[in-house]
Amino acid sequence: MVLSGPRTGACHAIDDTTTTLPCGEAVPVLGQGTWKMGEDGRRRTDEANALKLGLDLGMTLIDTAEMYASGGAEEVVAEAIAGRRDEVFLVSKVLPSNASRAGVKRACENSLRHLATDRIDLYLLHWPGSVPLTETVEAFEALKAAGKIRHWGVSNFDTGEMEELVRLPAGGNVQTNQVLYNLSQRGVEFDLAPWSRQRGMPLMAYSPVDQGVLARNARLDAIAARHGATPAQIALAWVMAQDGVIAIPKASRPEHIRQNVAALDIELTSEDFAEIDRAFPPPRRKSGLAMI
């Protein structure tokens, strides 16, 4: 199965700027990543200000993880969302090494403390590990019942792993799978994206501008020129044009934040999609899930 192209509404998009989780809650298709934030104390204020600017411009979904700067990125997020928690859809992740029943609870408490909040909106298992999934799912459900998290999901799960997950008791409560997805890494289109779409479950695309590499890709220059945009904006607009996909670019420079928000207004044409497919061909066979 290969599916790609403009939004068809299979994930019940309310408009072009939101998509819907399986539970029915609408979430923005454009959020903000935070990997590499919080690593250098001298940059913390600038990083928090970048996230605040993103919030001001409507990028209200913020993605972070206990792994990023060992809680430092969560602390930057805390600074950015102080006094405006209710505006934000907060995503964080637990490491597979903490995915046991007791480990998840402890990790979540630590994240809540770093984030200076009482709840995480969407809590993800960062990648598959050795703790039995049933145990992690039970721990997620217990956190939900306690009001510490509102939803849970996974990250870096391939199709077989998703199939195994949804067969578990309460496994069907998974709300998203966060995976590497950008023009240079289209492998998920072969079967994982169609599988997710069929369940009405959005994929969350990480590294949507390939960690900045696509910003310098000359194969996007002509399309960018047609739209009066930058190659990075075209790469991002393309990810957001995929049905049921949420993009979470990380940007710490204000001009990048503004450009990423403006990418929401870029409407790629069928000519653009065809040109992109020639330059960045969709997958023709199954390959292992790429990860960073």
Does residue 75 bind ligand NAP (CB under 6 A)? no
Nearest Cα residue to 221 out of 206, 239, 234? 234
CB of 206 to ligand NAP, least distance (A): 3
274 or 292: whose CB is closer to ligand NAP? 292
Does residue 156 bind ligand NAP (CB under 6 A)? yes
Per-residue x/- mask for ligand NAP, residues 231 to 270, rule CB under 6 A?
Answer: -x---------------xxxxxx--x--xx----------
Q: Do 22 and 201 touch, CB atoms closer than 8 A?
A: yes
Beta-bridged to residue 279, according to DSSP, are none
Q: Name the one range near ligand NAP by CB under 6 A: 77-85, 108-116, 202-210, 271-279.
A: 202-210
Does residue 117 bind ligand NAP (CB under 6 A)? no
- CA torsion 155-160-161-165 (nearest 10°) is 110
Does residue 18 bind ligand NAP (CB under 6 A)? no
Q: Do 238 and 211 touch, CB atoms closer than 8 A?
A: no
DSSP codes joined into one string, 81-103: HTT-GGG-EEEEEE-GGG-SHHH
Does residue 292 bind ligand NAP (CB under 6 A)? yes
The count of chain residues that interact with ligand NAP, using the rule CB under 6 A, is 28
Does residue 215 bind ligand NAP (CB under 6 A)? yes
> Using CB under 6 A, which of 4, 98, 207, 217 touches ligand NAP?
207
At 18 the three-state DSSP class reads: strand
Whether 123 is catalytic:
no
Name 32's Cβ contacts closer than 8 Å, sequence gap at least 6: 51, 54, 59, 61, 62, 63, 248, 249, 250, 251, 257
CA angle 53, 235, 181 (to 5 degrees): 95
38 φ/ψ sector (left φ>0, alpha ψ -120 to 50, else beta)? left
Does residue 208 bind ligand NAP (CB under 6 A)? yes
Does residue 167 bind ligand NAP (CB under 6 A)? no
* Interacting residue ranges for ligand NAP, rule: CB under 6 A: 33-35, 63, 126, 155-156, 178, 206-212, 215, 230, 232, 248-253, 256, 259-260, 292
Give the residue numbers marked as catalytic: 68
